[in-house]
Amino acid sequence: MTHGKVSMKNRFLKYWQLYVFLIIPVLYIIIFAYIPMGGLQIAFKDFTGLKGIWGSDWVGLKHFKTFLNSYQFKRVFMNTIGLSFYQLIAGFPIPIILALGLNSVRSEKYKKLVQTVTYMPHFISVIVLVGIINTLFNPITGLYGTISELLFGVQPADIFGNPGAFKHLYVWSGIWQNCGWSSIIYIAALSSVDKELHEAAKVDGANRFQRVIHIDFQAIIPTAIILLIMNTGKIMTIGFEKVFLMQNSLNLSSSEIISTYVYKVGLVTGGGDFSYATAIGLFNSVINLILIILVNKISKKVSNTSLW
């Protein structure tokens, strides 16, 4: 026992310099990631500035119950999930198609050109992206108005005031921005496919399309599953910033999601109800965590692929 203790102590001593390196990053992560986690306790308290986070009174699940029973709950919850699923289903296959396509293009120049152009929009900021949407889809001054007038001879209705159009604008602008970027990881996976497999399949009489399905597509399935798990785990945390920037009073019925609601409850409405907003945020994170664990488990069982 003493021997073990001594050698343990020696081992730590041997590496003391490395721990010195780690002091700042660990302190940093404790302050900026774990202290806010500790702050989550106010979801179960009635926070008042006077008593502080630790001194405020416990109220149990009061805020969670209030949220679940509020008239906002169903709408905000369904909008969050609906927008996420739409994004997942529409956005997931396109990078795969793009990668498979790029992989079978034989002109290096053309491949490079398409790749460069398709992932350029990834670097545009969310403000500029929403600015572009607003500018292009403006029914009077934008491209949308021009095209509609050209085709139908009439100026279109204001698309930003139409709650039904919000989700399409949101999802497809996201695909526009990120399909090229998301395809990189699949292109990487495809580059590791053994050329001999293709040669062998060719000899067996498989045509190009069959080879893509049976060789290339098989090769990216593990990557696709990992990404699918990760994306499913993000179902509840759909990007606050873009939704918030695209919101207006007319499309609110379809654009209010949990995170924008948290912001409004916590930081806008008359000084803000920190406890209630934190409870809603926590509710969101917990569902998220459960989702990712669940999907990971299912995937492990079905396909033997998992995050951990």
Partner 1 sequence: MKRLNKHPKTTMSFDDKIYFGGVNIVLFIIFILVLYPVVYIVSSSFSSATAVMTGKVVLWPVDFSLEGYKAVMRYDKVFIGFRNTVFYTVVGTSFNIMLTMIGAYPLARKGLPGKGILMFIFSFTMIFTGGMIPTYMLVRSLGIMNTPLAMILPGALSVYNLIIARTFIQNSIPNELLEAAQLDGCNDFKYFFKIVLPLSKAIIAVLVLFYAVGHWNQYFKAFLYLRDPDIQPLQIVLRDILIANTTDPSMLGGSDADAEALEGLSNLLRYSLIVISSAPIICVYPFIQKYFDKGIMIGSLKG
Q: Scanning residues 198 to 217, which ones bind partner 1 (CB under 8 A)?
A: 207-209, 212
Q: What share of the chain is helix, strand, coil (3-state, %, to 5)?
A: 80, 0, 20
Three-class DSSP category at 45: strand
Q: In the complex, what is the shortest distance from the CB of residue 110 to partner 1, in angstroms, rounded to a whole number?
A: 8
Q: In the complex, what is the shortest distance from the CB of residue 176 to partner 1, in angstroms, rounded to a whole number?
A: 6
| Contact track, partner 1, 60-89, x by CB under 8 A | ------------------------------
> With respect to partner 1, which residue has the nearer C-beta, 83 or 179?
179
Phi, psi of 45 (to 5 degrees): -130, 170
Amino acid code (one letter) for 22? L
Report how far residue 186's alpha carbon sits from residue 127's, in angstroms, rounded to the nearest whole number.
28
Longest CA span, the chain: 90
Q: In the complex, what is the shortest distance from the CB of residue 119 to partner 1, in angstroms, rounded to a whole number?
A: 8
Using an 8 Å Cβ cutoff, are 83 and 253 in contact?
Answer: no
Phi, psi of 96 (to 5 degrees): -65, -45
* Residues sharing a CB contact under 8 Å with residue 62, sequence separation 6 or more, in sequence order: 46
Give the residue, chosen from 38, 55, 93, 164, that forms a contact with partner 1 under the rule CB under 8 A: 38
Give the residue, chosen from 76, 83, 169, 179, that forms a contact with partner 1 under the rule CB under 8 A: 179
**What is the DSSP secondary structure assignment for residue 249, as one 8-state letter?**
T
Which of 60-68, 71-79, 85-93, 266-274 is the region at the interface with partner 1 (rule: CB under 8 A)? 266-274
Which of 20-28, 54-62, 70-78, 84-92 is the region at the interface with partner 1 (rule: CB under 8 A)? 20-28
> With respect to partner 1, which residue has the nearer C-beta, 88 or 105?
105
> With respect to partner 1, which residue has the nearer C-beta, 88 or 124?
124
Give the residue, chosen from 169, 171, 282, 295, that forms a contact with partner 1 under the rule CB under 8 A: 282
Report how far residue 95's alpha carbon sits from residue 169's, in angstroms, rounded to the nearest whole number.
19
Phi, psi of 92 (to 5 degrees): -70, -45
Q: In the complex, what is the shortest distance from the CB of residue 133 to partner 1, in angstroms, rounded to a whole number?
A: 9
Q: In the complex, what is the shortest distance from the CB of residue 8 to partner 1, in angstroms, rounded to a whole number?
A: 7
Report how far residue 23's alpha carbon sits from residue 290's, in angstroms, rounded to the nearest whole number.
32
Q: In the complex, what is the shortest distance from the CB of residue 57 to partner 1, in angstroms, rounded to a whole number?
A: 17
> With respect to partner 1, which residue has the nearer C-beta, 33 or 302?
33
What per-residue string of b and e applies to 158-196 under the rule 16 or more CB within 10 Å gives b? ebbeeeebbbebbbebbebbbbbebbbbbbebbeebeee
> With respect to partner 1, which residue has the nearer C-beta, 142 or 254?
142
| Contact track, partner 1, 231-250, x by CB under 8 A | --x------xx---x-----
96 binds partner 1 (CB under 8 A): no
Neighbours of 52 (CB within 10 A): 10
| Contact track, partner 1, 109-148, x by CB under 8 A | ----xx-xxxxxx-xxxxxx-xxx-xxx----x-x-xx--
Which of 54-62, 68-76, 83-91, 174-182 is the region at the interface with partner 1 (rule: CB under 8 A)? 174-182
